Structure 1
Amino acid sequence: MTFNTSLPYQIIAQSDYQRMPWKNGLGETLEIQRHEDESGLRFRISQASVVEDGVFSDFSGLHRTLVLLSGEGMTLEHAVKNKNSSHTNKLSNALDIARFSGGDETYATLKSGKIEDLNIMVRETDTQANVQAFTAPCSLLFSNNSTLFSNNSTLFSNDDFLFCGFYVCEDGVLEIENTVLTISAHSMVIFSQNANAKLTKGSGVFINITELD
């Protein structure tokens, strides 16, 4: 990850996200981060609205983590391809999280009207995403060895670092290296490999993407 400033973070506003059509043509997404290599797409982070019931796009080869941001919620029903098995995720409250294979045949049923979600996809063969929702107050320390949260237990390993960021769900206040920042909702704060941060107002989603163990 390359940073353009000497600061241990960068802030990307929602207005800077790339608007992209859904793979199935039934909507569009705001692409926040994307990384490709010689093997194709390695990871992608995006934000989208789901306005009607329907089948999710097929993203075979990718693992998906979906976080409910707003709305009354939805139910995801997954049928595992080539296997006689299925499972269900019910997302009822903001910051509820679903984890599933992008190759599953996934059908979304909205509870009551449209929802907004955050979608993190990583290549299943060599990449992993650790995703955790946080509500203020909470402290985070991202260093060369690990990421810690407020009770000093290890949350994310930083070995083989690819991406570390905090998606701000609502207008919030984040203290980074003794600098107090008021950050607009739906912005992404991207951390370098050394940063000390404290969320004092609001909520968000911490995302750490690394090589698969």
Structure 2
Amino acid sequence: MIYSLLKQQDYTKMLWKNGKGYTYEIAKDTTQCQEGSFNWRISMAQVDQNGSFSDFSGYQRVISVLEGEGIHLAIDDQSEEKLYPFTAFAFDGASQTQCTLLKDPVTDFNLIYAPQKYRARCQWLNINEIQRFCSQAQTILIFSVCDSMTIKTNQFNETLGKHETLFMTQNESLKQFDLITQANQNHFCCVIELSKI
């Protein structure tokens, strides 16, 4: 396994496809992709006003709220979803999706991936001082919302700050992870697992 710690200054600021805001790209895979496309991408963005989402036809999307009260999504005029912090919601990137703020601006967190190329899992964990999980995914990313979170494996110990990411690739076996936080702080983190089909 190869791993690296990504900090906020490492993230790439880029304009939304629809030109109405900015995304901070955390990580992506572009192996054997044409220019402008990707196999998967993880990012976060500030949403300051109501509006429509960019078109990502050919991709699956998973969105969460990091900061703020939440958002209301209307998808293809057929279904609606209220999304509150630290819950994941999946939908087709080709859907016509309208976003309405429940109150103030929010910061969201996004996984976008090509389902014909990758299997993906995205889950939020609420850590009560220590939590263990196991994974044999080829690529694993752990995004911290904690002020300080330590990740221990039999290979390494790393400490993440708020909105920092541990990025692990080329995993070939089942790995055990212990996530450790201190009392009296926000205990959430997001675990994303990706494997080629």
Q: Is the pair's TM-score, using the shorter chain for normalization, greater than 0.5? A: yes
Superimposed CA distance per residue, residues 47-76 of structure 1 (whole angstroms, 9 cap, x where no aligned partner): 111110000001111100001111000011
Is residue 31 of structure 2 the alignment partner of residue 37 of structure 1?
yes
CA distance in 1, matches of 2:119, 2:65: 20
- Kindly state the Cα deviation for residue 175 of structure 1 after the two structures are TM-superposed: 3.3
- Kindly state the Cα deviation for residue 32 of structure 1 after the two structures are TM-superposed: 0.8
- Kindly state the Cα deviation for residue 140 of structure 1 after the two structures are TM-superposed: 2.1
**Counterpart in 1 of 2:160?**
183
Q: How do residues 104-119 of structure 1 correspond to structure 2 at under 5 angstroms? A: 104-119=95-110
The letter for the 1-side match of 2:131 is C
CA distance in 2, matches of 1:189, 1:39: 24
Give the TM-score taking structure 2 as reference length.
0.85
Superimposed CA distance per residue, residues 7-42 of structure 1 (whole angstroms, 9 cap, x where no aligned partner): xx3211011101111000000011011112334421
The letter for the 1-side match of 2:190 is V
The letter for the 2-side match of 1:33 is A
- Whether the 8 Å contact between 1:171 and 1:185 is mirrored in structure 2 is yes
**Counterpart in 2 of 1:132?**
123
- Whether the 8 Å contact between 1:174 and 1:197 is mirrored in structure 2 is no
- Kindly state the Cα deviation for residue 185 of structure 1 after the two structures are TM-superposed: 0.5
What are structure 1's unaligned runs of at least 5 residues?
A: 4-8, 80-84, 147-157
**Counterpart in 1 of 2:148?**
172
CA distance in 1, matches of 2:75, 2:48: 19
CA distance in 1, matches of 2:151, 2:165: 14
- Kindly state the Cα deviation for residue 86 of structure 1 after the two structures are TM-superposed: 1.7
The letter for the 1-side match of 2:15 is P
Is residue 17 of structure 2 the alignment partner of residue 23 of structure 1?
yes
The letter for the 2-side match of 1:188 is T
- Alpha-carbon spacing, 1:21–1:181, altered in 2? closer, same or farther (3 Å): same
Given candidates 158, 161, 178, the residue that maps to 1:198 is 178
What are structure 2's unaligned runs of at least 5 residues?
A: 182-186
Higher strand fraction (1 or 2):
1
**Counterpart in 2 of 1:153?**
none
Aligned residues: 183
Aligned to 1:37, the other structure's residue is in SS state coil
